Structure 1
């Protein structure tokens, strides 16, 4: 049975936004799902799967197309390239969609978008791929090239990880990034018990709710339609947050009455978690650079019902003199390359470059050079990123400790996806010496 063309038109629009206009994939997808809420669950699931799957397998898909097309993907018109990519994803990974339907719909979509003259090309390439898909072989050498195509990760990233970790570890990481994962959520045990939140989620239509193996206030949920459609979410009974981010706050010596500053807080997960740990005491000052990001924090604060946290606009690169030596804890979860969250944010891999990575490492140093001043004597600085890159992580921490001898390293941990029960994430907890 042919799928309605509307779904594939929406998929094309999303993928063009992501690949041509560099809109983050999860934002482009959620915007469309919010706008077209009248679509039924099956249609929304199809849009989500093809969009995310095409992005996730894009390097492999381009490799396949380039085996059968005289015009290589890099030289194609953006609309045609996306039509072919999403069709090849369906041919390779969605057995329930007949190959004839995939080809026919791709041709129809090309014509509808004004490419009548290229419809024969689209038809020929896709029908050849459908017949000969099983003949496509991965490149054998070098190892970085094979892994790059197999797991659709840019080769320079694979080379970087192979230089830092054993081959077996890298392959586990890459495999994890390709798997489908449930959504990790945090609930406040002071507000609702685990049994109650599980029951409410089931009432909301969430098909699967599982305990997290490490954190008692974390759950994995899957089999739900739309996050904003869950009453439990709208009521602020849980917050979507990866376990690695929770473990970062868990590593801090939060005690009642503490003053905490989160310098790059949006959308507010760690700040809210810290505010919960304060149990109605103290205060969390959640800051970020733009009005938009502060708005995201405020929206989440409003949903949470917490009163010991506030949000404000502040550039972390500029010293706020009024904050110097006022914080028991400073959380510096800084802008980074994001390579630890490729499992959920598929498109980061295509937009990041080694040059951008170096710029981010320099930005992190610039911010650390300012915000460490907010820590009281005897207080704690948390430096964290959601990436797997020594230059942004261990090397930056070593540089900071060399520059600022009044701080000592209390704890350092690089979480690796596929090895630890969470996304890739780095934390360094540093203590400032007491005044003499």
Structure 2
């Protein structure tokens, strides 16, 4: 119990950084665990507390507001996060006894709150416990409130999805976003085979399943820390979702070609492209952020790739030296990220609907500039991890309307047969609740 008490305090500090200081959850979690010397089970517990509390924030706040004499926004930030974290354990973690979660919350309130706050925390949580089975969510007749509060998504987001898809689709999507995604990895076929990698993983005590669509994809369970695995240090695999892997397959690079990845950091797709090229040819990987390019360099070294050239460059600025030179160009555009919420739940709180307008302008600008680099007869792939049509179909269609030297190319030869029915208007979309992958949009364009 003492180790879990320490774990809860660490989780609380991480949550404070995320919710009150605006830190990204993955970065704050990494920093919080960096000097933690506890057991793997405690690291896992901390991770679960952090991501779960962030993920369910709207639902947790709604329940607290129903049973608290003070509204969530008027509660001291430390106490607010203690309540959220403890209520998450009570509502969503069967393995944590409710009385233990309440007791630990009271102890944390004594440390991080003022006089009397521990009694306030105890009172709120005990009241919720007594009424837990009687909580009534908004009626489905008010679909936006229903989805927002029951599945903890911002109203603007579910409103858009109901409009663009439908209510049933949106509810299934919200459910999937709250599931814990599998750890999917890409086997580095430059160094090993899938069967050999499976043997190594099993020797390291991991449970492994083959991916749903791609031969180089594996799903791994029972993994406390990726960086500690010998197989990871030796560059035998790289974490990457199958939808993200599909982008490189649709680009279909060939050995010996010149490939340009204009928004390439942190390097997952670029290194996959190198793998498909059998490490023969040249890949120019560009990004505007120097610190992200360092991650590309580290990744290529670990995976044993030597055909990638890293350049700090703004994709909005035309590079005349590369006009008509590239066999393939990848525009994996900056986007809202609404397709990867299950992996990065704080996207729900850091993104606003007003962000889309600026993102769309940026995407159009990058796509227009990048098209100049494609040689005649070459190909350009445009992809995002967004579910929003404005960032996807509408960007590509807008580009094609003003550029008659490109056409939509057939994606079907480059994707698994199970996905061919998913092609609509020449574009491929994946969704968490349908394909058990991240949500992606992919278009392949050919220069005439």
In structure 1, the residue matched to 2:445 is 430
Task: Quote the offset at 1:155 in angstroms.
Answer: 1.4
Q: Distance in 1 between matches of 2:160 and 2:99?
A: 41
Deviation string 1:248-282 (CA, Å, 9 cap, x unpaired) is: 11112322211001011111111111111111321
Residue 211 of structure 1 pairs with residue 210 of structure 2: yes
After alignment, is 393-402 or 412-421 more displaced?
A: 412-421
In structure 1, the residue matched to 2:38 is 39
After alignment, is 24-33 or 331-340 more displaced?
A: 24-33
> Does the aligned pair in 1 maintain the 2:14–2:50 contact within 8 Å?
yes
Q: SS of the counterpart of 2:30?
A: helix
Q: Distance in 2 between matches of 1:373 and 1:394?
A: 20
> Does the aligned pair in 1 maintain the 2:188–2:235 contact within 8 Å?
no
Q: Distance in 2 between matches of 1:414 and 1:221?
A: 24
Deviation string 1:390-429 (CA, Å, 9 cap, x unpaired) is: 0111111111111222111114112111112411000111
Q: Which runs of 5+ in 1 are unaligned?
A: none
In structure 1, the residue matched to 2:18 is 18
Q: Distance in 2 between matches of 1:292 and 1:205?
A: 34
Change (3 A) 1:2 1:139: farther
In structure 2, the residue matched to 1:365 is 364
Measured on the aligned residues, the alpha-carbon RMSD in Å equals 1.4
Q: TM-score, normalised by structure 2?
A: 0.93
After alignment, is 422-431 or 107-116 more displaced?
A: 107-116
Residue 144 of structure 1 pairs with residue 144 of structure 2: yes
Residue 375 of structure 1 pairs with residue 365 of structure 2: no
Q: SS of the counterpart of 2:318?
A: coil
Task: Quote the offset at 1:100 in angstroms.
Answer: 2.5
Residue 175 of structure 1 pairs with residue 190 of structure 2: no
> Does the aligned pair in 1 maintain the 2:78–2:113 contact within 8 Å?
no
> Does the aligned pair in 1 maintain the 2:327–2:374 contact within 8 Å?
yes
In structure 1, the residue matched to 2:391 is 392
Q: SS of the counterpart of 1:319?
A: coil
Task: Quote the offset at 1:90 in angstroms.
Answer: 0.8
Residue 107 of structure 1 pairs with residue 106 of structure 2: yes
Task: Quote the offset at 1:114 in angstroms.
Answer: 4.1
> Does the aligned pair in 1 maintain the 2:82–2:109 contact within 8 Å?
yes
> Does the aligned pair in 2 maintain the 1:243–1:421 contact within 8 Å?
no
> Does the aligned pair in 1 maintain the 2:322–2:373 contact within 8 Å?
yes
Task: Quote the offset at 1:190 in angstroms.
Answer: 4.2
Task: Quote the offset at 1:304 in angstroms.
Answer: 0.7
Q: Distance in 1 between matches of 2:158 and 2:358?
A: 20
Deviation string 1:215-243 (CA, Å, 9 cap, x unpaired) is: 01110111110111111111110011110
Q: How does 1:298-317 map to 2 (within 5 A)?
A: 298-317=297-316
Q: How does 1:408-419 map to 2 (within 5 A)?
A: 408-410=407-409, 411-419=426-434
In structure 2, the residue matched to 1:158 is 158
Q: Distance in 2 between matches of 1:135 and 1:19?
A: 28
Task: Quote the offset at 1:204 in angstroms.
Answer: 2.2
Task: Quote the offset at 1:370 in angstroms.
Answer: 1.5
In structure 2, the residue matched to 1:197 is 197
In structure 1, the residue matched to 2:417 is none
> Does the aligned pair in 1 maintain the 2:143–2:167 contact within 8 Å?
no
Q: Distance in 2 between matches of 1:124 and 1:346?
A: 29
Task: Could you list the structure 1 runs, at least 4 aligned residues long, displaced by more than 6 angstroms after superposition.
Answer: none
Q: Distance in 2 between matches of 1:105 and 1:172?
A: 34
Deviation string 1:63-119 (CA, Å, 9 cap, x unpaired) is: 111110121112222211111000000111223323222222112212212423322
Q: Distance in 2 between matches of 1:306 and 1:343?
A: 30
Q: How does 1:216-255 map to 2 (within 5 A)?
A: 216-255=215-254
Residue 257 of structure 1 pairs with residue 256 of structure 2: yes
> Does the aligned pair in 2 maintain the 1:110–1:116 contact within 8 Å?
no
Q: SS of the counterpart of 1:378?
A: strand
Change (3 A) 1:95 1:419: closer
Q: SS of the counterpart of 1:340?
A: coil
Q: Distance in 2 between matches of 1:120 and 1:12?
A: 19
Q: SS of the counterpart of 2:446?
A: strand
Q: SS of the counterpart of 1:306?
A: coil
After alignment, is 126-135 or 95-104 more displaced?
A: 95-104
Q: Distance in 1 between matches of 2:438 and 2:294?
A: 26
After alignment, is 21-30 or 345-354 more displaced?
A: 21-30
Q: Distance in 2 between matches of 1:146 and 1:324?
A: 51
> In the comparison of the two structures, how many residue pairs are matched?
431
In structure 2, the residue matched to 1:188 is 188
Q: Which runs of 5+ in 2 are unaligned?
A: 410-425
Deviation string 1:129-175 (CA, Å, 9 cap, x unpaired) is: 11111111110041121111121111111111111113222222112
Q: TM-score, normalised by structure 1?
A: 0.96
Q: Distance in 1 between matches of 2:265 and 2:400?
A: 26
Q: Distance in 1 between matches of 2:396 and 2:429?
A: 12
Q: Distance in 2 between matches of 1:277 and 1:263?
A: 18
Q: Distance in 1 between matches of 2:396 and 2:279?
A: 32
In structure 2, the residue matched to 1:54 is 53
